[in-house]
Amino acid sequence: MRKLYQRLALVLGMSAVMTVLIFTVSLYGRSRAENIHYLRQLLDGVEENLSHNSEDYRERLELLEEDYLKRARAAEYILSSGPGLVSEEELQIIKELMEVRAVTVIGNSGEILMSTEDRTGDESEESVFHVTVKAQSDRFAAVRVDADPGRLGLMDREDLMRSTLRQATTEHRTGIMAVDPETGEIIGFTRNNAQDFELAGIDTASEFLGLLESMADRRAAVLRVNEVYQRVLVRETEGYYLVAFSALDTVFADMTWSFWEGLIGIGAVSTAAILLVRYYLKKYLFRHFETVKEDISRVLAGAAGSGAADAGIPEVQAFVAAISELEKGYLDQAEGMHRMKDELSRARTEAERDKLTGLYNRRGMEKRVEIFLKQETPAGTFVLFDLDNFKRVNDSEGHPEGDRVLERFAACLRECFRKDDSLGRLGGDEFAALISGPVPDERLEEIFCTVMSGVREGLETYYKKYGVSVSIGAVPIDGKVRTYKGLYKCADTALYIAKYLGKDRCYINKEKISCMKKECIRCREDCPRSRLLDLKSREE
């Protein structure tokens, strides 16, 4: 009997250890995948923000160029209108009227005839932004206007990258930094993490750059950074290395604690099970065997049996009790599995939803489009929405107010589309819709006009104050494009055209053009996008 107990304990103990090991390995694999996915999401977010910031920067620079060109022309007109060259005092007045740093009159031989600024000093102090226009007068050749750097608010590439990193939000002991691929200099960090990055075994900038180059756009690696092991993911974008890193000590600590928790719990359950089995074996099986043995001995001795063994009732009761216990245990396990299945299903649903708006996120939207495209003859429309001038709200009112604008726009989309249509927020102020079933162009335009007017009315305050509106790009789904990426490119091209034509409008890409070049290269003979670009150029 003792050997039976020992073997039972050994089997239960080994089962407990194997269960805990399998659980720990599974937990590690899931934690690793989630950690890598989180780092990739962080890099995707920084890349997207950097792209938006770069685009906003270019738009601002174009506006500045146009503004200072007008000022230069105005100054040239004033100088050309007089009978002769103005005095230095009058030139100073023109400079103050134009609100610029300096006004310079250039002679026909390229010499400086007069200027409000001394240009004989250090050339390094020259204006960072200036505009020169040709003169209409014969007295001088051109007029140059230098912008006041304090009024421009321009940033260089490094400042733009630092600003983008400051916008990123990361968890504790997780961060992103940008590295110059030429010098190995760290340009900036995200705000809520350590502001240093010391890599074990790397002593020179060339070694550091060589490591980053070997890791760029590849799998994540575990390195010893700042005296702790961290998972590092490197991506090259916009002429910089973006490095995302996350400390692993917290992950390993959680895994170790879970391992010991599981081991102790299963050990306690196994010990209790062994004691219970021993108790019931003694009570219902081995004790009855002793009674049977005594009865047999009495019978052999010629005496009558006690009658306790031949009834068979204790064995039947023990079996029934054991079966009932097993049945109850199986029912409890089945109920637990159903509960776990429901929780997993709810977790998957939450993973595909945008927390702010309740719409599908990029992952959920892409999944639904891919499922839709797997139909034999899919028919519908894929639509992209982009809020015009949304960044002005964030810059002026703050991100909480920007989030309220996004929530109200999501509510506007729900009102304008059917329940069968899928709506999603792809990130930032970019939204998408999947309209199922064929829809005539006239009906599509009605829906889009309803959305645009809904934005102007629902966000009236922001529309009047910041020019917040919505640009819409759509592409019909007819089975010719069978991937989400292809549909997205076509819809993005349509969205680009809508914005290029002046924003607050829609465009349907019926020809499924996916070209995003700003200047037409005549890749096809009949291209509606090319005609629109030519028309826009002639209007300008």
Same domain, 89 and 191: no
Amino acid letter, residue 101: R
The whole-number pLDDT of residue 50 equals 81
Return the amino acid letter for 222: V
Asked whether residue 62 is assigned to any structural domain, the reply reads yes
Q: For residue 81, tell me if it sits in a domain.
A: yes
Give the per-residue pLDDT at 519: 61
Contacts of 447 (CB under 8 A, 6+ apart): 416, 417, 439
In a domain, 342, yes or no: no
Q: Are 365 and 424 in contact (CB under 8 A)?
A: yes
Q: Which tokens go with 248?
A: 């692993």
Local structure of residue 356 (DSSP, 8 states): T
Q: Which helix (H) or strand (E) holds 142?
A: strand 142-146
Q: Which of 247, 274, 305 is the last residue of a domain?
A: 247
The CATH number of the domain holding residue 171 is: 3.30.450.20
Q: Which is it for strands 174-179 and 186-189: parallel, antiparallel or unpaired? A: antiparallel
Note whether 370 and 455 are same-domain residues.
Answer: yes
Give pLDDT, residue 445: 94
Cα separation, 368 vs 366, whole angstroms: 6
137 and 227 share a domain?
Answer: no
3-state secondary structure 69-128: HHHHHHHHHHHHHCCCCCCHHHHHHHHHHHCCCEEEEECCCCCEEEECCCCCCCHHHCCC
Distances in whole angstroms, Cα of residue 505 to Cα of each of 187, 424, 496, 530, 536: 39, 20, 11, 18, 15
Strand 228-237 with 422-427, pairing: unpaired
- The closest alpha carbon to 127, from 145, 153, 106, 107, belongs to 145
Cα–Cα distance for residue pair 188/196, rounded to 1 Å: 10
- The CATH number assigned to the domain holding 396 equals 3.30.70.270
d(CA 429, CA 410): 10
Residue 442 CB contacts under 8 Å (≥ 6 apart), including other chains: none
In one letter, which amino acid is 44? D
Whether 268 is covered by a domain: the verdict is: no
Pair (143, 177) in one structural domain: no
CB-count burial class (<10 Å; 0-12, 13-18, 19+) for 277: middle
- Please indicate, yes or no, whether residues 366 and 456 belong to a single structural domain of this protein: yes
Chosen domain end from 247, 274, 294: 247
What's residue 347's pLDDT?
A: 67
Structural element, H or E, at residue 434: strand 430-436
Q: What is the per-residue pLDDT for 457? A: 94
pLDDT at 538: 61
CB neighbour burial string for 142-165, b if at least 16 within 10 angstroms, e if fewer? bbbbbbeeeebeeeeeeebbeebb
Where a domain ends, among 116, 147, 178?
147
Tokens of 181: 């691929």
Domain that holds residue 111: 1-147
Residue 430, beta-bridge partner list: 386, 427
Placement of tokens 């006004």 in the chain: 103
* CB contact at 8 A, 505 and 472: yes
What is the per-residue pLDDT for 520? Answer: 60
Query: Do residues 360 and 351 lie in contact, with contact meaning Cβ atoms separated by under 8 Å?
Result: no
* Residue 442 resides in a domain: yes
Q: Does a structural domain hold residue 113?
A: yes
Signed CA dihedral, 448, 451, 453, 455: sign only = negative
Asked if residue 162 and residue 137 are part of one domain, the reply reads no
Q: Which residue in the block uniquely carries the two structure tokens 């050990």?
A: 267
Answer yes or no: do 114 and 80 share one domain.
yes
Is 498 in a helix, a strand, or coil? Answer: helix
- Tell me, yes or no, whether 143 and 169 share the same domain: no
Residue reference for tokens 């789904």: 477
Whether residue 74 sits in one domain with residue 159: no
Rg, Å, the chain Cα set: 37
pLDDT, tens digit only, all 540 positions of the chain: 566 666 766 776 777 677 767 877 777 777 778 888 888 888 888 888 888 877 887 888 788 888 889 999 998 888 888 777 888 898 899 988 888 889 999 998 889 989 988 755 444 444 567 899 998 888 899 999 988 766 666 666 778 788 888 888 787 778 888 898 888 888 888 876 666 788 888 888 888 888 888 888 888 888 888 878 888 999 988 788 898 888 887 666 666 777 677 778 777 877 787 777 777 766 665 665 566 566 556 545 555 545 544 445 455 456 556 656 765 776 777 677 878 877 776 767 678 899 999 999 999 999 999 999 999 999 999 999 999 999 999 999 999 999 999 999 999 999 999 999 999 999 999 999 999 999 999 999 999 999 999 999 999 999 999 999 999 999 999 989 999 999 999 999 999 999 988 899 999 999 888 876 656 656 666 666 666 666 666 655
Check whether residue 384 and residue 455 sit in a common domain: yes
How many domains is the chain partitioned into structurally?
A: 3
Same domain? For 138 and 178 the reply is no
pLDDT at position 310: 47
pLDDT of res. 518: 58
Among 366, 43, 29, CA closest to 217? 43
Amino acid at 461: T
Are residues 222 and 369 both part of a single domain?
A: no
Spatial separation of the C-alpha atoms in residues 306 and 298, rounded to whole Å: 9
